Structure 1
Amino acid sequence: MQASVHTFDAETGAGSVLLDTGRVLPFPRDVFEDSGLRHLRLGQRLSIEVSGDPERAGTELTRLWIVGIGPGETIR
């Protein structure tokens, strides 16, 4: 699944993404730290994984990455 960076605080490492459906999902610092990325810019497209149905309450963003960047990610 893909989403766009909606907010990002470089000091805390937390932020949120905007799904293509218009729903905003926050992510905590540890998800950003685990991504191996050093910075995100507003509007940047990301690949994401979530815990459950992204349109239901209680869904959490569990992983974010950019295809081709990071361990095991190949550019297609």
Structure 2
Amino acid sequence: MQGTVATFDQSTRGGSLLTDEGMPLAFAAESLADHIRHLRVGQRVFVETSPTGTVTAIQIWTPR
């Protein structure tokens, strides 16, 4: 699914996002792809979640 970064803490590398369906999700640093060093509020991302709704992976969305 896709979403938009709502908050990002540079020191912990965790934050929250809002999915395109309007669901708020928190994420931990462990869910960020290795190449991600910083996220901006409003930045578009791809999000993968577990069956329980926990964010398992975030990748930066780039338009083609």
Identify the TM-score tier after normalising by the shorter chain. 0.7 to 0.9
Q: Which amino acid aligns with 2:55?
A: L
Greater fraction strand: 2
Count of equivalent residues:
63
Greater relative contact order (Cα < 8 A, sep 6+): 2
Identity of aligned residues (%): 41
Is it true that 1:21 corresponds to 2:41 in the alignment? no
Q: Find the aligned partners of 2:29 and 2:58 in 1 and give their Cα distance.
A: 11
After TM superposition, the runs of 4+ consecutive aligned structure 1 residues lying more than 4 A away are none
The unaligned stretches of length 5 or more in structure 1 are 53-57, 69-74
Greater fraction helix: 1
The unaligned stretches of length 5 or more in structure 2 are none
**SS in structure 2 opposite 1:16?**
strand
RMSD: 1.6
